[in-house]
Structure 1
Amino acid sequence: MTLYAELHRHLGGSVVPRILWRYFERHSPELISRFADYSAFEDFYTRPRNTLDEYLELHTLVESVQTVETLPYFIYRLLRGAYIFENLAYLELRYTPYLRTPDHLSQSQRIDMMTEIVEVVGKASKLREYPIVTSQILCMHSRLPFEVNKAIVDLAAQNRQYVCGIDVAGGDSYSRERIDEWIKLYDYARSLGLNTTGHLYETTAGCDPQLLPYLMRIGHGIQIPLLYPELLKDVAARNQCLEVCPTTYLKTGTLQDIRQLKLVFDRCFDAGVDIAICTDNAGLHNVRLPFEYENLLTYNIINFEQLQACQDAAFRHAFAWPYRQRPVSLLNGLLNPQPTKALIS
């Protein structure tokens, strides 16, 4: 059995439609009252959107119900599915902790409560029955003020037992307007020894080369090989990995055909740039990581050798994977131990 690493999955977009529907039925029926049945809800929840901003609005639907009390419910079901159906050995969950706090509280109260959110997510992610190595990436957000985003960086630094890095999310167009803030915050994060990734070069509105030197991985990054291939040399020199999430680009209208990704993979392989294949929002897409692999193979975007290279890269660039080897090597060592010399009587 092959085991996989998932480096780019949002907590808000990870809840599959059926789980979310059942939760709403039991606890918040008003949120689904406009849908005739589950099929209508699933269609609404998973259908493609016209733009990234329209797509991101769906996150608010889930964020509103992911609270201190309910997060263990959602995380248990997320990990159960990831272990049983996706063969995940490693999972980084990313989210904005501030957006899981009650919005009626003051900003300072919500900042203080973020620590509890991180602890709840961390403890809920440690399940003996589904032994996946997990860690959190805390997302700053393009629609939150500087003070809150700095508090998120500080929170990550203070909770390294649960947190392996930081990110910035919230949409390309909003991030671009505040590029000086992001540079300052990422520079601060690096000074604290934090691992860094960031949503960048996902769409044509998010192409900000000034931020690239501060990132260890690049969230999406597909516009680099598509529009700015001259940057790939520097990306390779910095040993940066692209977190490519194939289904996302069809759901957000960023690409019209998945086969457009062939140029992304070809140029990255030629330039020596690593790619980790990810799901981004497995629930919103109603897909799982092995499907992303299969889809890329089916459309001849990559071959099996390249797929294995991407799978290896995911473990190699994982911020919190505790071993030098990926699971297949560890299992091979267990199943094929070195022969011992016979005892001489």
Structure 2
Amino acid sequence: MTLYAELHRHLGGSVVPRILWRYFQRNSSDKISQFIEYTDFEEFYTRKRNTLDEYLELHTLVESVQTEDSLPYFIYRLLRGAYIFENLAYLELRYTPYLRTPEDLSQSQRIDLMASIVDIVGKTSNSLKYPIVTSQILCMHSRLPYEVNKAIVDLAAQKREYVCAVDLAGGDRYYRERLDELVKLYEYALSSGIKTTGHVYETKDGCYQELLPHLMRIGHGIQIPLLYPELLPDLAKRNQCLEVCPTTYIKTGTLEDIRQLKLVFERCFDAGVDIAICTDNAGLHNVRLPFEYENLLTYDIINFEMLQSCQDAAFRHAFAWPYGERPASILNDIYSRNNLK
């Protein structure tokens, strides 16, 4: 059995439609009162959106119910599906902890509660019977104040047993007016020994070269090989990996045809830039990681050799994978030793 690493999955977008529907039925039926039956909800939840902003609005639907009390429910089902249906050996979950705190509290109170959210996600993940190595990436948010984003970086530094990195999310078109501030936050994170990734070059609105030197991995980054291939040699020198999430670009209207990704893979491979294939929001898409692999092969975007290289890169660039090799190599060593007996 081949085991995989998933480097880019959002906690809010990871809940598959059926699980979310059942939760709403039992706890918040008003949120689904507009839908006559489940199939109507699934169609609404997973359909293609026109823009990234419209797509991100769906996150608020899930964030509002991922509270201290309900997070174990969602984490358990997420990891169960990841192990049984996706063969994941490693999973990095990313989210903004501030957005899991009660909205009726003051900003300072919500900041204080973020540590509890991180603890709940971490302890629940570690207490389950499924053998998946997990870690958290805490997302700064383009629409949150500087004080909150700095507190998120501080929390990442304080909770290293559960947190492996920080990210920047929330819609890339909103970065421009706060770019100096965001650069300072990344510099602060790196100076504190925190690993970094960030949602940049996902859309044509998110191309900020100023942020690239501060990222160890690049969230999406597909516009670099598509529009700015001259930047690829610098990415290769910095050993930066793109977290490419194929279905996302169709769901957000960023690409019209998934086959446009063929140029992304070809140019990155030619330049020596690693790609990790990811799901981003497996629940919103109703698509699991092995299907992302299969889809890329079916459309002749990559071949099997390229797929294996991307799978190797995912483990190599994983922020908290504790072993020097991917699971397949470890299992092959065990198999070889047993055959020599």
TM range (shorter): over 0.9
1:99 corresponding residue in structure 2: 99
Q: Give the TM-score normalised by the residue count of structure 1.
A: 0.98
Per the alignment, in what secondary structure is the counterpart of residue 94 of structure 1?
A: strand
In the alignment, the residues of structure 2 paired with residue 279 and residue 181 of structure 1 have an alpha-carbon distance, to the nearest angstrom, of 29
Counterpart code for 2:8 = H
Structure 1: runs of 5+ lacking an equivalent: none
Task: Give per-residue Cα distances to partners, 1:26-53, cap 9 Å, x unaligned.
Answer: 0000000000100000000000000000
Point out the structure with max Rg over C-alpha: 1
Instruction: Find the aligned partners of 1:152 and 1:50 in 2 and give their Cα distance.
Output: 30
Question: Which residue identity does 2:152 align to in structure 1?
Answer: I
Are 1:68 and 2:61 matched, yes or no?
no
Equivalent residue pairs, number: 341
Q: Which residue of 2 aligns with 1:168?
A: 168
**Match for 2:66: what amino acid?**
Q
Query: Distance between the aligned counterparts of 1:177 and 1:197, measured in 2?
Result: 20
Shift of 1:176: 2.2
Distance (Å, rounded) in 2 between the aligned partners of 1:176 and 1:198: 14
**What displacement does 1:129 show?**
2.0
Q: Which sections of structure 2, spanning at least 5 residues, go unmatched?
A: none
Greater CA drift, 176-185 or 43-52:
176-185
Deviation at 1:121, TM superposition (A): 0.3
CA distance in 2, matches of 1:339, 1:27: 54
After TM superposition, give the deviation of residue 330 of structure 1 in Å: 0.6
Amino acid at match of 2:137: I
After superposition, the C-alpha distances for 1:86-112 in whole angstroms (9 at most, x for unaligned) are 000000000000000000000000000
TM-score (norm 2): 0.99
Q: Does 1:323 align with 2:315?
A: no
Structure 1 residue 333: deviation in Å?
1.2
> In 2 relative to 1, CA 142–29 (structure 1 residues): closer, same or farther, beyond 3 Å?
same
Stretch moving more, 197-206 or 331-340: 331-340
Per-residue Cα deviation, 1:257-293 (whole angstroms, up to 9, x for no partner): 0000000000000000000000000000000000000
| Offset at residue 175 of structure 1 (A) | 1.7
Query: Which residue number in structure 1 is paired with residue 44 of structure 2?
Result: 44
Paired residue for 2:151? Answer: 151
Alpha carbons 2:244, 2:276 under 8 Å: kept: yes
- Which whole-Å CA distance do the structure 1 matches of 2:94 and 2:284 have between them? 15
Q: Which residue of 2 aligns with 1:58?
A: 58
Query: In the alignment, residue 64 of structure 2 is paired with which amino acid?
Result: S
Shift of 1:318: 0.1
For 1:27 and 1:117, the matched residues in 2 are separated by: 20
Measure, in 2, the Cα distance between the counterparts of 1:2 and 1:206.
Answer: 35
Structure 2 residue matching 1:337: 3-state secondary structure: helix
Matched, 1:5 2:5: yes
SS at match of 1:178: helix
Q: Aligned residue for 1:300?
A: 300
Q: CA RMSD in A?
A: 0.9
Supply the distance in 2 between the matched residues of 1:180 and 1:4 (Cα, whole angstroms): 37
